[in-house]
Structure formats: structure tokens, C-alpha cells
Structure 1
Amino acid sequence: MRDFQAPGRSSTFATEGMCATSHPLGAQTALEVLKRGGNAMDAAIAGALVLGICEPQMTGIGGDCFVLWTPPGSNEIKALNGSGRAPAAASAAALRARGERVVPVRGIEAVTVPGAIDAFCHLSETVGKLGIDALVQPAIHYAEAGVPAASRVAFDWPLDAPFLKGSARRFFLKDDKPLTTGQIFRAPGQAEVLRRIALQGRDGFYAGEVAQDMVDSLNALGGVHAMDDFAATACTPSDPVSGPYRGIELVEHAPNGQGATAILLLNILAHFDIAGMDPFGAERLHIETEASKLAYDARNRFIADPDHTARLQHMLAPETAAKLAALIDPKTAMAQAAPLTEAIHRDTIYITVVDRDRMVVSLIYSIFHGFGSGFASDKFGILFQNRGAGFTLEEGHPNEMNGGKRPMHTIIPGMLRENGRVLMPFGVMGGAYQPTGHARLVSNLVDCGMELQAAIDAPRAFPEGGVLKIERGYSEKTRAELEALGHKLELPEKPLGGAQAIRIGEDGVLEGGSDPRKDGCALGY
């Protein structure tokens, strides 16, 4: 039990339904949908669309999504890939000929076709109850009436605003300045797009005037996107991947998401007595850091578009984890195993909903970097994602950029099962950090016996760029011991990630946890 005389928050408990996400208006929207007779999928979609207005630097209708869910009362986990593709004319060879070594992170070349709206329309029609026309209404309201910038959103805005370019500055700045806490953000252009989606479904976005606005705006900036690229966009069902960890099964979305990295990371950690280590000590963090370096090296070699990922089973094989675990020296830090394929970012939203029939939804939705590519469509103000920065330009690599391919994605929804029963949908936002975040949350629960909210609150660290980024929550003693092991430490500018989770008790009680690193909460009824 937490110390009630210390700063912190309690888990949320309810029985009928619950949502945990990174902004209160998103959580409230989801609960209102449940109370109107919608199911968990309806609630998650409506809440996610509202989050695109509440947290515009994190996500929006120009982004992608991945979804895990269960049918009501079932423990079967289904998956949908709502990530978009590179335009047909995209070419790694052309970029190499220009002298590029990586896809320009904020360049027009990094803009892939948005996939989330197609996925939301498909899921609302095939899984939901209320229809997409009803689910977009809360977001339309907030886009027109406006949303006060919440504290974490206002913290991010000036850090990400310098990347806004051209018409995007008109849509996402106020008097050419970042919004501050409490200032109202409105998006009337997006409200109009959502109205067209309500009337026409996916064609309101991927065809006609809205699609033409996106294509014309991209072409004017040097993009090779075409109307056919938008018309051809289609989400695809997928089989999840999973792996055991000390009696718990971690279920992740298959590639092109990086979820398999979290499974491999736990497979490596299973070779060490994490439960016997100080949860906040240098020994545990050193082992986790070294395992992360190795797991991410494997990720960078193998994960790509589902049609080009050929060695997934090798990556998840027990013998692979055993060989990697043997490379870890408990007394010395190794160099970064390999540079990360994609540029690092911290900008994503995650929402999870459980309804009274125990349909469970785990949904993650993002435009990649803060304010995505920094470009927006001229008429409607649709902010374009820069997911193409997740490609490599290495010739012959499975994740090489080429037309019609999906890039390796950082965003990953997760679920836990225990003895075959769905135990907990969860997500840990934070770009490349997410697999480490998934593994750490699972380990906090399983190895350290933490309560759910405490497991989310616990301090984090992550190796990237040759340094170990470590939050202030670790003691000076732990930091000194890590430096003695050879780690170069750095305090990150932003906190590492932001977790949301709902644990489903055997008695049916729902326990929600929400990360204080974000503005959100878990709400139930």
C-alpha cells in the first residue's frame, strides 16, 4: 500500500466499465460512450479522436494506429494494423543518390499515408455498435469549442513548436507562439474533416476534397504522394505475437510494430534473478539496460513491413535469448549494440477501455515525433506524420524504404494473460522506449510485486545515443554505482514515456492505473 503522506495517486476501481488514457477529456468521452450503449471499441475510438484535439503534438487524424482487442467475454486477442504506407513513388535509391544516409526526419520524404482513420472506420463498422458518425461527434465538439492546453501538453508545445513549418504554424500556434497552460486550442478545419467522415465514412478522408487537400499540399512541398496512395489505404488484420514471463504471457502486436522486442527483452531478463535485486538499485537497472541494448539490436535487424519480416521466430526463440543473455557482463556496461533505426521521439497517445461485457481494447495512435513532420495540409490543417523516418536507407535491408511498404513502427499496444485469462490491457508511450517500458512494467508487477499504480509511477531509464537516460527518481547512490559500471548518465529533457493500464480481477473488479508523467487518469463507473 502506498504512503498516503507522500505525493502520489491511488489506482481507480470500478465494476461496470473503465478507461485509462493520457487526458481526462479522452477518458470522460470513453465513459460517456459506454454509458450510451457503446462497447469498448466504440469508446476507445471516440476517446482517441478526442485525444487528437487535446494532445495535438502527440497524435491526430494524419497518424497511424495499432489495436489489440478481445470479443466480449473472450480471452482470444485479435489485432489490427492501422499503419499507413509509403507513397508508391517513394524510393530509398533516390534518396541515396541525393547523398542521404537516413530518411530526413522532418523532411517531406518521411510523410507516409495516414492509416488510423481507415482503421477506425473499419473497426466501428465491424466491431463497434454505434457507427463512426456517432463516434466522431465528441471530437467535432472539442475541435470547434476548443480545449484548454493541459499542463503536460503545454510543457511539450514550446519544445516541439520549432518544427512546425508553413501552414502548420497557422493551425498549431497562437499569434505565432506556442500555447501556454490553459490557453484554448481549436481546430475548425479538423472538425469539418470529421463531419465528412461522419457522412461518407473513410471516403470522407481518403477521397474527394480532403484527400486532394492533403495530396496538393504534400506535392507543393516536394512530396511524391498521389490520390491513388490514399485511395489504396487499407488496414489489415494480424495475428498477435506472445511470450511467457514467470507465469504471465505478454501479448504484443506483430510487426511492423516493435512489440516483439519487448518479448525478446523479457526472454533475456528471465535468465537473471530480477526478483532478488533491489527494484531501484543499480544491479537491476544495469541488467535491464544491457538486455535492452541487445534486444533493440535484434529489432533493428529483423522488424519491418509484415511482408518483409522473415526472421521473427528466430528473434523470439528461447535459444536466441539465452545466447544474448550470455553476452551480458554484470560488472561492465557494453557499448550501444547498434544505432537505433528510427529517430528517437516521445510523442504518442495510448487508450485502453474495458466494458461491462468485458470486451477489452488496447489502442495506440500517433503521428510519431512532436507535431509529426511539422507539415500540415493547407485547407483543413491535417498534420502529417513522419513515420517514414522509421525506414532505413540500407540497400537490401528488410526495412528499406520503398513504395507501398510500411515502416518499422515504435508504437505498440500490449496485453497480459495469466493461465489463459486476459489480465491487463496496457501501453507505455514513449517512442523507442516502449519495449523497455513494457518489459519494466511487467517486471515491476511480476518480479517486484508492486501495486499497479506504483509499477507505473516507478522511475525509468533507457539507453540511447551512447548514454543512459535516467529519471530523477533514482537515488544518487544508484547513479554513482551505474557510472562505476561504465554507464554515461544523462537526465532526459522529458520524462520517459507514459503508461496506462486496466487490470481485470478474477472477481470482475477493474483496477486502473494512469501515469503522472501525463495529464490523464483512469476513470470508471
Structure 2
Amino acid sequence: MRAAAVLALCCAAALPLSAADRITGAPFATRSEVYAPHAMAATSHPLATQIALEVMRGGGSAMDAAIAANAALGLMEPTGNGIGGDLFAIVWDPKTRRLHGYNGSGRSPRALTLAEFRRRGLEDVPPHGPLPVTVPGTVDAWFALHERFGRRAMADNLAPAIRYAREGHPVHETIAYYWNRSVPVLSKWPGFAEQFTIDGRAPRTGETWKNPNLANTLSMIAEGGRDAFYKGDIARTIDAYFKANDGFLSYEDLAAHQGEWVEPVSTNYRGYDVWELPPNGQGIAALQILNLLEPYDLAGYGFGSPEHVHLFVEAKKLAFADRARWYADPDFHPAPVARLISKEYAAERGELISMDRALREAQPGTPRQLDEGDTIYLTTADADGMMVSLIQSNYRGMGSGMAPPGLGFIFQDRGEQFVLREDHPNGYAPGKRPFHTIIPAFVTKEGEPWLSYGVMGGAMQPQGHVQILLNLIDFGMNLQEAGDAPRIQHDGSTDPAGQALAMSDGGEVDLESGFPYETVRALMGKGHSVRFAHGPYGGYQAIMANPHGGWIGASESRKDGHAGGY
């Protein structure tokens, strides 16, 4: 199957690290960087990238473009996102010359209690069906972001997605591959097969897909605003659907939803300020890893060296131990964020790293308070200098499988990330936001915007954020090379969702093909368990400010999309 081969691009094609681009002689890249003088968009679907560019050509801002592309991706890539999911964003505003963050994550149903899970004999929140469903925050986030940073009417921003939903579009191959995997799992849930299959099967590569129900829903939102979704007929349909299908999400839960503006937090890595959003997301894990790695001469060790991979994995283990202990809804369990991302704390924790042996266990630190499915990531930049870093997801696969009749979208299953224990930071409670894996990122240098980027893929996301920056800053790669370089994923750390035992065996190191066997052998000698894995390495998009003016774009070779500009 050709799609499977595409998914395993770096996994299956053994490209030694010495491989060089035949034109430039630089480290291997699947394509050149994209340069444009006025505007840039990078998404995981070619049509969504075109939509974003059309919006900006028509006078829309980077935020208008991001919303339009995101709406289109909910139609075109339902394997990764949709209006049944949550959204996070970081925005560089050239007027205020500062970053703004938005946490668009929803809360658990107020009528669903921990006692109800216990009554059903459940030890974990199930991955599908009505129980993992939380309030979707995407539509609220669109309108909050648009109110502050948009220039065009929301109806104009949603029009391209509505048009493609009615007229149809050809399904791309990576999306078709994942869609086909989801259909057997989710077709048991009411509304899914009727609205997301063709005669009970997934659409095939190149086959035209229409979703008139989603077109109608987006039209109602375009006309009635966010309240059409959270307080109107859409909300009433959702309420009735869950009442009829053993669910708990209610009209009252939807009507009460409100996302929030948050302040991004940062650390400085070799002169670059790296920005993430604070918990309930996992973004600060990237900052913790960078702090742990900064004392080491990674450039001297070289990309793909045993030292590079070993130090990255060890730093990840330490950061993820804190992730399991501290990252949760701050309204219920505040984390000592300032301490966790401080250089002093990194120095203390860094003493646990040995150059010779891999950590088998990694306990969380005890910082004193100072006085990770499936996702899309996109980024846009306009002629005025606004940059948007946006990530949106239904979580696992295509979500919960719960698809209310006539609405054309699937609800997220983000609630699976809750732990069914009262004494856990991420323990389930009514009206609580679960731990979130989706994280946008941004980098400034000397107060100027430098890079808007993200890497999709559950627990891979903070690992990917770090690796992109190491590739750019330490190893001198360009924006496309930094994404195409073979990636590392460490698996097996203690999970914030409580769905895995505490790490006691060092976990597993997944390496894409391209790392020398000498590195693999050296890692094994340090006690690492190295394995071969297809596909868990995430998906990347990025836009960088061109020092000569305009923008530089790059996109993920492991996905269907591309970067484009004008």
C-alpha cells in the first residue's frame, strides 16, 4: 500500500546521516525551504494551505487565514481534528509587539462523577464512546481569537470550508490511510458510519468526499456566531444525542464553556527565547528538556552521535517524570511552573544524568514554588508581521466516535486522559480540564519574532519541539532540513493519565532510519533499549522570519501538506 510507504518515509528508507542534498551538499531534505515576501502558510493539507493564502491575499490577517485553514482541515482531515475538539494558539501581534496565548480546552461534564465510573466497574476512562467526551473548545477559540486579531467577517473565513463540504474534495493518501484504520473501531458508535463512511467504508485515496451536514453546521456558526454552537440549536441537538446514548455532556455544559487567554512562558536556549503555554498542556516539558541540554556541547558531539541521542533521551526522562506529577488543570492542581522551567532547577535535576549509563527510573523532582493520537498543526504569517501558531485535535484517532445526527462532526475523546483516582493531579472531577498533549510553540530572538512552529503527535510533541530547535540552533540545519532529519522518540515514561506504570526499565528508544549503527550499538552499551518503529514521530510545520525580509516556510515530509506563500 503506497500510503503506508509514505507514512514510513524516514522509517523505511535507510538514509545514512552522511547523505547530502545533490544540489546544495547540505544535510538531506525532501524539498527546499519556501520563500515568500508577503505572507506564508504551512498546513498538513495542500488545499488548506491554499485557503489560508487566499484569505490573506483578500485582505485577511494571519488569524483569519489560520481560522479558515483550521475549518477546512476539520472537513479535509477529520482523522486529526474538527469542531468537536480543542484548540490552543500562540499569536505574535505586531501592534503590541508581544505574544498572546489562548487555551481553548473544554471541561468534563458536570453530571459525570467519579462515582459513576466506579459504578460501571471502570479502572480507566474508555478511549471511545460517550464517557471520554469533554466540551469542545474550538469554536469558542475561533471567535475569541478572531475578535482580537481578525480583520474579515467570520462568515468569510468559514466560506471556503463550507463550499468544499458541499461540493466535495479529493481525499489525500495519508488521511485515507488513517481514516481506513478508524472506521472498524468507531463505526459501532451512533452517527459515525452514517456521516463518516461511504457504504460502511472509508473514502479511498483520490475519492471525492462531501460532508453536507458539516456545511450546514458551519453555516449556522457563520450566521449565529459562537452562541449558535454553544447555546443554540446545535447545542440542543448535542444535548438530546448524549441523553439518548448513555452520555453526560449537556446543554448546560456547552452554555457554560469559556476558553481563556493565558500568558506564554519561556526559557532562553543559547540566546533564543522559546515560548510555550503553561499547563494543563505539556508545553513546558520542552522548556525543561532544553534547560537540561544547554550545558552540553551538542554541536561538538554532532547530530546523530551517541552523545546527542543519549543526552536527549535522559533529559526527556527527567522532564516527563515532572510531567506526570505536576501537569494538570491549574484550577484544580496548580503547578510550580516558574520553578520547573528555571535554570536552577535544571542544574539540580541535571546531576542525575550520567554520560555512561541510561536512567532506568526517573522520579519527579520536588520543586518549591517561587515567590500527549491525532492532531493538526498549522502556522500562518501575514504582510503586517502577525504570526499564528495553532494546534487543534480530536485526540485519539478520529475522536470518540460520537457523531450527533445531522451535524457532520465527531466529538473528541480527550477525557481519556483523566485518571480515575481522587488523589492524582489529573484525577477525574466534574467540570475539570484534562491533561492536554497538544502544544503550539514560538521562538523570539532579542525581542523579535523568529519562528512559529509545532510538531503533532501525542507525547512526541515536546520531544519534537526540542529536536527541531537542536537541529536549527546546534546542528545548523535549515528550516526544511530540521523537519526532515530522522527523529528520536523515547517511550515508556510515567504517564500523566495514569495509564502506564511508573518507568522502571528505562523505557524504549525509537529511532527513525538514518542513525548510524555505531550510534545504536553505543546506546545499547549505555543500557538503552533501542527499537524500530513505524510512524510515531509526529508532523511538523514552521514559518521563520527571513532576515532579508518576508518569510521562510517548511512542512512535514511525513504528511500530505506543504508550505506556500506569495
Measured at CA, do residues 137 and 487 of structure 1 come closer, stay the same or move farther in structure 2, by a change above 3 Å? same
Corresponding position of 1:3 = 22
Which of 55, 68, 91 lines up with 2:90 in the alignment? 68
Corresponding position of 1:497 = 538
1:122-152 CA distance string (max 9 Å, x none):
2223320112111110110111122211121
Structure 1 contact 258–411 (Cα < 8 Å) conserved: yes
Structure 1 residues 89-98 or 413-422, which shifts more? 89-98
Corresponding position of 1:335 = 360
Which of 171, 177, 181 lines up with 1:159 in the alignment? 181
SS for the counterpart of 1:16 is: coil
Same amino acid, percent of matched pairs = 42
TM-score, normalised with respect to structure 1: 0.95
1:215 aligns with 2:215: no
Write the distance in 1 (CA, Å) between the matches of 2:87 and 2:192: 22
Measured at CA, do residues 336 and 155 of structure 1 come closer, stay the same or move farther in structure 2, by a change above 3 Å? farther
**1:390 offset after TM fit, Å?**
1.9
1:103-140 CA distance string (max 9 Å, x none):
22224221101000011022223320112111110110
**1:382 offset after TM fit, Å?**
1.9
Write the distance in 2 (CA, Å) between the matches of 1:406 and 1:431: 17
Write the distance in 1 (CA, Å) between the matches of 2:414 and 2:22: 42
**1:187 offset after TM fit, Å?**
1.2
Structure 1 residues 11-20 or 325-334, which shifts more? 325-334
Write the distance in 2 (CA, Å) between the matches of 1:338 and 1:497: 26
Corresponding position of 1:284 = 308
Write the distance in 2 (CA, Å) between the matches of 1:328 and 1:477: 22
Taking the TM superposition and a 5 Å limit, the aligned residue runs for 1:10-409 are: 10-72=32-94, 74-96=96-118, 98-164=120-186, 165-166=188-189, 167-307=191-331, 308-335=333-360, 337=362, 345=373, 347-409=374-436
Write the distance in 1 (CA, Å) between the matches of 2:390 and 2:414: 17
Residue 468 of structure 1 aligns to which amino acid in structure 2? V
**1:225 offset after TM fit, Å?**
1.5
Residue 50 of structure 1 aligns to which amino acid in structure 2? A
Measured at CA, do residues 322 and 500 of structure 1 come closer, stay the same or move farther in structure 2, by a change above 3 Å? same
SS for the counterpart of 1:102 is: coil
Write the distance in 2 (CA, Å) between the matches of 1:393 and 1:54: 34
Structure 2 contact 278–337 (Cα < 8 Å) conserved: no
SS for the counterpart of 1:108 is: coil
**1:480 offset after TM fit, Å?**
2.8
Residue 70 of structure 2 aligns to which amino acid in structure 1? A
Write the distance in 2 (CA, Å) between the matches of 1:269 and 1:91: 42
**1:516 offset after TM fit, Å?**
0.3
Cα RMSD, aligned residues only: 1.9
Residue 335 of structure 2 aligns to which amino acid in structure 1? A
Write the distance in 2 (CA, Å) between the matches of 1:295 and 1:115: 28
Structure 1 residues 226-235 or 157-166, which shifts more? 157-166
1:178-215 CA distance string (max 9 Å, x none):
22211122211111000000110012211232112222
**1:73 offset after TM fit, Å?**
5.0
Corresponding position of 1:484 = 525
Q: How many residues align?
A: 520
5+ residue gaps, structure 1: none
**1:335 offset after TM fit, Å?**
2.7
Structure 1 residues 170-179 or 235-244, which shifts more? 170-179
Measured at CA, do residues 493 and 96 of structure 1 come closer, stay the same or move farther in structure 2, by a change above 3 Å? farther
Structure 2 contact 279–335 (Cα < 8 Å) conserved: no
Measured at CA, do residues 336 and 120 of structure 1 come closer, stay the same or move farther in structure 2, by a change above 3 Å? farther
**1:97 offset after TM fit, Å?**
5.0
1:384-432 CA distance string (max 9 Å, x none):
1011112222323332221111111111111001111111111111111
Structure 2 contact 441–452 (Cα < 8 Å) conserved: yes
1:321-365 CA distance string (max 9 Å, x none):
1222211222222236479xxxx62x1111111100001111111
Residue 509 of structure 1 aligns to which amino acid in structure 2? G
Residue 455 of structure 1 aligns to which amino acid in structure 2? A
Structure 2 contact 314–358 (Cα < 8 Å) conserved: yes
Corresponding position of 2:495 = none
Measured at CA, do residues 7 and 125 of structure 1 come closer, stay the same or move farther in structure 2, by a change above 3 Å? closer
Structure 1 residues 447-456 or 154-163, which shifts more? 154-163
1:212-245 CA distance string (max 9 Å, x none):
2222222333211110100111121111111110
Structure 1 contact 67–81 (Cα < 8 Å) conserved: yes
Corresponding position of 1:427 = 454
Residue 239 of structure 1 aligns to which amino acid in structure 2? E
Corresponding position of 1:474 = 515
Measured at CA, do residues 120 and 281 of structure 1 come closer, stay the same or move farther in structure 2, by a change above 3 Å? same
SS for the counterpart of 1:501 is: strand
Runs of 4+ in 1 over 6 A off after TM superposition: none
Structure 1 contact 430–498 (Cα < 8 Å) conserved: yes
Residue 524 of structure 1 aligns to which amino acid in structure 2? G
Write the distance in 1 (CA, Å) between the matches of 2:210 and 2:361: 43
SS for the counterpart of 1:136 is: helix
Write the distance in 1 (CA, Å) between the matches of 2:97 and 2:301: 33
Measured at CA, do residues 257 and 2 of structure 1 come closer, stay the same or move farther in structure 2, by a change above 3 Å? same
Structure 1 residues 364-373 or 147-156, which shifts more? 147-156
Write the distance in 1 (CA, Å) between the matches of 2:88 and 2:81: 13
SS for the counterpart of 2:35 is: strand
